[in-house]
Amino acid sequence: MDITVIKYDDEALLEIKRHLSEGQPVILPNPSPLPYMVVAVSPVIINSLKRRSIDQYVASFIGRFEAVKQYFNLDQYGMEIAEKCLVEQKMTVLCPVKNDIEVPAFLLPSLNKNHVLLFAAHLAGLQQLCLQFPSLYVSSGNVTTMEPKQFCTDVQAQFKEFGNPEFRLLLVDGDHFRDRHQRHGSTTMVAISRTGELSVKRKGIQQLHLDKS
């Protein structure tokens, strides 16, 4: 498939925005120990690129929890735990929705069993990127059934051989954010109850060290 590789820096953000606006997928970096991630303006783009069912729900990619928290059925403590899991622990988080508020259209692709799946941007430039689009969606940067790769060249090789060639993929090299001596992997996915109780839905690279005091 057609893959363009660029280095992550301030100038790259303009190219990322242009590529997304054209309806093409972008693979973006995360800080260690998280994997690279696929981001697009539509879940269909992500699912097609990764060669999985196009109607599979995906996480909404958010720059600020404040922008979406009004839709969730969480008390004050639940809100604090949800934000802590997203921002500090860098997990993927399922938040329960309120029954008396209609879920907005941009969150519907992330809705499953009355919970919305969220993942937060952890680089300042990507946080700003999220604010420039009505909606963005995200998934781990690997082809379905294959392990996420730790470094840019390995991600490129996997998608070049196995990704969907219908797309022009922009791969943004952020290896300089990553610790080569640290193990990387997919995020832990947790569901938050209204009162802030956690349940692990998918084991991942993070450990659950939440200070509930």
Predicted TM-score (pTM) of the model is 0.93
Calpha distance 138→40 (Å, rounded): 7
State the DSSP H helix or E strand holding residue 34, giving kind and residue range, or none if neither.
none
Q: Which domains does the chain have, with CATH numbers?
A: 2-202 (3.90.870.10)
**Structural contact between residues 184 and 178, judged by C-beta atoms closer than 8 angstroms:** yes
Of the candidates 73, 1, 72, 59, the one whose C-alpha atom is nearest the C-alpha of residue 30 is 59
Predicted pLDDT of residue 101 = 78
Render pLDDT for 89-135 as a digit per residue (tens, 0 to 9): 999 999 999 986 789 999 999 999 999 999 999 999 999 999 999 99
Instruction: Decide if pLDDT at 183 tops 90.
Output: no
Q: What is the mean pLDDT of residues 161-170?
A: 97
Res. 162 pLDDT band, cuts 50 70 90: very high
Predicted pLDDT of residue 100 = 67
Predicted pLDDT of residue 210 = 39
